[in-house]
């Protein structure tokens, strides 16, 4: 039997880490088994649907390189792959359930259902939800209601006795009493729109899906889906509900923890291979040790058995670490290409790049490469090369517990060391040592000397290592900036 799996998102928001992990697991499972990876757009919720989300879905899959074997953009034998284009089908099958006696038309008005809910709440009655009011209407009663112009929905007849079991590859059998399944849920709304449950089950069957890998929050819908398969007389696929993705605090990953949308990660400068690798390790592991995998490797080694039953923790720091590793794997040329958009966006450079700028870039890339967590870090780290520092806040020159007069003396001293050092071909290490020795002389911590120097060169207290900054700036600019900074400090003193 050929493995056929699907990623079936609803385009009601940006693709987030949890969704992408579901997509990845499905994709790798399909590849590892020589099966098919299918994309299906579940856009039955027209109120929450947005074009932007749909576009974001396609962009995300494309950016990660998750190619679909069948889907809205590539077509396939069981299309269309967008639910809003399949409404006729859902209607036909819902009506078939009615004629088979597995479902029925309900004419209850929203007022009646509202009143019912209020009544149930007030009575704190054990029976919650629809009261099966229309489940036994006779043909005459139905024609009567219809002649009054009442519209109807189609509801599934959920058995009141017995139990339903979901066979879950990961979680084992999950069994629920049928009377705990919400009574007679709507399958087809009065406007002819299917509900999620109906469309989902019909499509998985029609598309010959063999394994349903989806988030664990869908487990509560599972019994209803099985009941639907039974009502149709179809065999249900195997389930594999995926453990949640949590933040470090044990709560479901959400905006409170940080960015969750793939688009944000992309914009900040995470590489697709790093995100893919790290997200694949959230709740899955190869041997509990190895964590670095290319996409091609995961396409071979992925297996369901190695999915963790416990929720996976999404650790932003760890992702940063992965990203840094992948950045360092890039050649300087590749990295330059990747950094360029950030430099353009910051207004540091403009296209076409002048020779001068190109040279700066060539020098910059290997220096920042070691220090980038995300590509956008290049902006704060290299601003000093493209903009003159403003020194508008003299307190920036002061390390903790250092007075302005001491910072001034420190900067003067460091300047002398650099001037003499460069004139006499002294090594960077020796100059650095002399500057550090100056700190001892002035009875301050090393930062008391390096801070004013760093701020003089870059205008910022966070920067590349001192001699890297000097190298990139060149001697002339370095000295000019120190002099400007000295006069600012003197005028403050």
Q: How far is the CB of 218 from ligand GLU (least distance, A)?
A: 5
106-165 residues in contact with Zn ion (CB under 5 A) are 106, 108, 133-134
Maximal C-alpha separation, the chain: 107
Q: How far is the CB of 51 from Zn ion (least distance, A)?
A: 35
Please give the order of strands across the beta sheet that includes 153-156.
103-106, 153-156, 186-188
Among 60, 200, 260, 382, binds ligand GLU (CB under 6 A): 200
Q: How far is the CB of 21 from ligand GLU (least distance, A)?
A: 12
Rounded-to-integer distance, Cα 420 and Cα 440, Å: 20
298 binds, among ligand GLU, Zn ion, none (CB under 5 to 8 A by kind): none
42 binds, among ligand GLU, Zn ion, none (CB under 5 to 8 A by kind): ligand GLU
Should residue 103 be labelled a site residue for Zn ion when binding is judged by CB under 5 A? no
Among 86, 155, 211, 214, binds ligand GLU (CB under 6 A): 214
20-59 residues in contact with ligand GLU (CB under 6 A) are 42
CB 17 within 8 A of CB 215: no
108 binds, among Zn ion, ligand GLU, none (CB under 5 to 8 A by kind): Zn ion
Strand segments, DSSP code E, in 180-261 are 186-188, 211-215, 238-242, 245-246
Among 78, 218, 321, 471, binds ligand GLU (CB under 6 A): 218
Q: How far is the CB of 239 from ligand GLU (least distance, A)?
A: 9
* Helical ranges in 70-155 per DSSP H: 87-99, 110-122, 139-147
CB 212 within 8 A of CB 239: yes
300 is catalytic: no
The number of residues that bind ligand GLU (CB under 6 A) is 7
8 binds, among Zn ion, ligand GLU, none (CB under 5 to 8 A by kind): ligand GLU
Rounded-to-integer distance, Cα 38 and Cα 35, Å: 10
Stretch binding Zn ion (CB under 5 A), from 67-75, 99-107, 249-257, 332-340: 99-107
328: part of which helix (H) or strand (E)? helix 316-328
Should residue 8 be labelled a site residue for ligand GLU when binding is judged by CB under 6 A? yes
Q: Which is nearer to Zn ion, 139 or 429 (CB)?
A: 139
The number of residues that bind Zn ion (CB under 5 A) is 4
442: part of which helix (H) or strand (E)? helix 428-442
Strand segments, DSSP code E, in 202-266 are 211-215, 238-242, 245-246
DSSP 455: H
312: part of which helix (H) or strand (E)? strand 312-313
For the chain, give the number of residues. 493
Marked catalytic residue, from 255, 300, 306, 420: 255
243 binds, among Zn ion, ligand GLU, none (CB under 5 to 8 A by kind): none
Stretch binding ligand GLU (CB under 6 A), from 2-10, 66-74, 92-100, 439-447: 2-10
Nearest to 158 by CA among 111, 58, 62, 227: 227
Q: Which is nearer to Zn ion, 133 or 208 (CB)?
A: 133
Rounded-to-integer distance, Cα 254 and Cα 18, Å: 10
| Closest residue by beta carbon to ligand GLU | 214
CB 394 within 8 A of CB 456: no
Is-cis flag, bond preceding 80, omega within 30? yes
Stretch binding ligand GLU (CB under 6 A), from 7-15, 165-173, 263-271, 417-425: 7-15
Q: How far is the CB of 8 from ligand GLU (least distance, A)?
A: 4
User: Given the structure tokens 């697709």, which residue do they identify?
Assistant: 272
Q: How far is the CB of 195 from Zn ion (least distance, A)?
A: 15
Q: How far is the CB of 386 from ligand GLU (least distance, A)?
A: 44
Nearest to 488 by CA among 393, 420, 402, 413: 393
Give the number of other Cβ atoms within 10 Å of residue 26's Cβ: 26
380: part of which helix (H) or strand (E)? helix 378-386
Should residue 18 be labelled a site residue for ligand GLU when binding is judged by CB under 6 A? no
106 binds, among Zn ion, ligand GLU, none (CB under 5 to 8 A by kind): Zn ion
Q: Which residues are at the interface with Zn ion (CB under 5 A)? A: 106, 108, 133-134
Q: Which residues are at the interface with ligand GLU (CB under 6 A)? A: 8-10, 42, 200, 214, 218
Residues marked as catalytic = 255
């Amino acid at each position: 039997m050929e493995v056929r799996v699907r990623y079936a998102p609803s385009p009601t928001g940006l693709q987030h880490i949890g969704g992408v992990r579901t997509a990845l697991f499905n994709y790798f499972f399909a590849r590892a088994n020589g099966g098919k990876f299918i994309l299906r757009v579940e856009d039955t919720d027209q109120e929450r649907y947005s074009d932007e989300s749909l576009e974001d879905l396609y962009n995300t899959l494309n950016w990660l390189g998750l190619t679909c074997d069948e889907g809205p953009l590539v077509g396939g034998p069981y299309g269309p792959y967008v639910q809003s284009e399949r409404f006729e089908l859902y209607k036909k099958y819902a009506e078939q359930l009615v004629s088979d006696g597995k479902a029925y038309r309900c004419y209850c008005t929203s007022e009646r259902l509202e009143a019912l809910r209020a009544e149930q709440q007030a009575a704190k009655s054990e029976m919650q939800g629809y009261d099966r009011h229309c489940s036994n209407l006779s043909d005459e009663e139905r024609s009567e209601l219809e002649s009054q112009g009442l519209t109807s929905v189609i509801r599934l007849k959920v058995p009141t006795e017995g139990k339903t079991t979901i066979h879950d590859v990961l979680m084992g059998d999950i069994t629920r009493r049928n009377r705990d399944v919400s009574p007679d849920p709507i399958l087809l709304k009065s406007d002819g729109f299917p509900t999620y449950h109906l469309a989902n089950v019909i499509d998985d069957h029609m598309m010959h899906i063999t394994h349903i890998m989806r988030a664990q929050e869908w487990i509560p819908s599972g019994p209803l889906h099985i009941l639907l398969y039974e009502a149709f007389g179809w065999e249900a696929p195997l389930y594999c509900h995926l453990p949640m993705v949590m933040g470090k605090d044990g709560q479901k990953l959400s905006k409170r923890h940080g960015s969750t949308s793939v688009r944000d990660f992309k914009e900040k400068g995470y590489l697709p291979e790093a995100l893919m690798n790290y997200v694949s390790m959230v709740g899955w592991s190869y041997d509990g040790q190895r964590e670095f995998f290319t996409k091609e490797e995961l396409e071979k080694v992925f297996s369901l058995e190695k999915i963790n039953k416990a929720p996976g923790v999404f650790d932003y720091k760890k992702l940063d670490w992965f990203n840094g590793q992948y950045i360092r794997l890039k050649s300087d040329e590749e990295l330059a290409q990747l950094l360029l958009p950030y430099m353009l966006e910051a207004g540091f450079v403009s296209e076409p790049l002048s020779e001068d700028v190109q040279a700066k870039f060539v020098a910059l890339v290997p220096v920042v490469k070691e220090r980038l967590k995300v590509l956008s870090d290049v902006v704060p780290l290299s601003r000093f090369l493209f903009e003159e520092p403003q020194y508008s806040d003299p307190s920036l020159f002061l390390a903790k517990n250092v007075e302005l007069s001491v910072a001034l003396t420190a900067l003067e001293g460091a300047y002398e060391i650099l001037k003499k050092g460069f004139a006499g071909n002294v090594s960077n290490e020796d100059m650095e040592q002399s500057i550090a020795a100056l700190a001892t002389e002035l009875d301050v911590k090393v930062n008391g000397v390096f801070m004013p120097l760093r701020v003089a060169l870059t205008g910022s207290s966070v920067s590349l290592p001192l001699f890297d900054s000097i190298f990139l700036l060149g001697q002339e600019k370095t000295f000019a900036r120190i002099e400007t900074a000295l006069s600012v400090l003197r005028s403050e003193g």
